[in-house]
């Protein structure tokens, strides 16, 4: 069991990181990536620059922390949906809504991440990790749906990659165009395509799709 002193140090560290995160978010929203300097973050967070460097020795480390801190809540909210007792279809709907709503909440940060090539490179490892976690959650939903007979016997991994890839594209297009589409409306249209496809009939027995 950790000592009281160790617990206090952990709480203080967590509070410091949260303060730095909020300060960095403010800087990004007000000044963009170019204006994200360690001096500005330290000033807004109300900490000495040296203390900031104790937690984040480089700007890259700070950016990776921001990305992880912004995306992790969306993953955890989706994880709660997947662990719930609702149907696989409702789980898929819930996960997509959580992610799209979260994007809207932190739109300014995502604009910086996606728009700046340097930031994308800095956050590449963190992005791959979070994408992997997202894929695992989607795959769990598809596997459950297949086991229950709700979804047909598709490849869960392929289905998950298609869904996540299809989710990322409209997000990036919204950022490029400045458009703000309704999460509820988009998710329902998306599910309509995913669940029912685009064909008016099933493939014939001699078609390549049926052969698989």
Predicted local distance difference test score (pLDDT) of residue 59: 84
Domain at 1-57, CATH class: mainly alpha
CATH code, 59-198:
1.10.357.10
CA 175 centroid distance within chain: 15
Cα–Cα distances (Å) from 212 to 46, 183, 207, 208, in that order, read: 61, 34, 9, 7
Q: Is the pLDDT of residue 210 over 80?
A: no
pTM above 0.75, yes or no: yes
For the chain, the structural domain boundaries read 1-57, 59-198
| In the predicted structure, residue 150 carries a pLDDT above the cut 50 | yes
Within the chain, how many helices (H) and strands (E) appear? 11, 0
Closest CA to 187 of 70, 108, 78: 78
Chain segment 100-116, per-residue pLDDT in tens: 888 877 777 777 666 66
pLDDT of residue 151: 94
């Amino acid at each position: 069991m950790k000592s009281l002193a160790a617990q206090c140090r952990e709480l203080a560290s967590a509070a410091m990181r949260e303060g730095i995160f909020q300060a960095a978010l403010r800087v990004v929203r007000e000044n963009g990536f170019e204006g994200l300097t360690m001096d500005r973050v330290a000033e807004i967070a109300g900490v000495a620059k040296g203390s900031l460097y104790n937690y984040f020795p480089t700007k890259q480390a700070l950016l990776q922390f921001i990305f992880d801190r912004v995306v992790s809540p969306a993953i955890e909210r989706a994880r709660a949906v997947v662990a719930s007792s609702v149907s696989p279809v409702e789980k898929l709907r819930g996960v997509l809504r959580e992610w799209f709503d979260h994007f809207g909440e932190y739109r300014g940060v995502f604009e910086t991440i996606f728009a700046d090539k340097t930031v994308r490179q800095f956050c590449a490892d963190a992005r791959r990790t979070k994408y992997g976690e997202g894929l695992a959650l989607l795959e769990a939903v598809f596997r459950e749906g297949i086991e229950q007979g709700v979804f047909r016997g598709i490849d869960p991994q392929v289905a998950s990659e298609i869904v996540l890839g299809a989710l990322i594209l409209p997000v990036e297009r919204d950022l490029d165009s400045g458009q703000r589409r309704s999460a509820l409306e988009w998710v329902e249209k998306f599910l309509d395509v995913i669940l029912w496809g685009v064909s008016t009939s099933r493939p014939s027995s001699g078609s390549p799709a049926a052969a698989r």
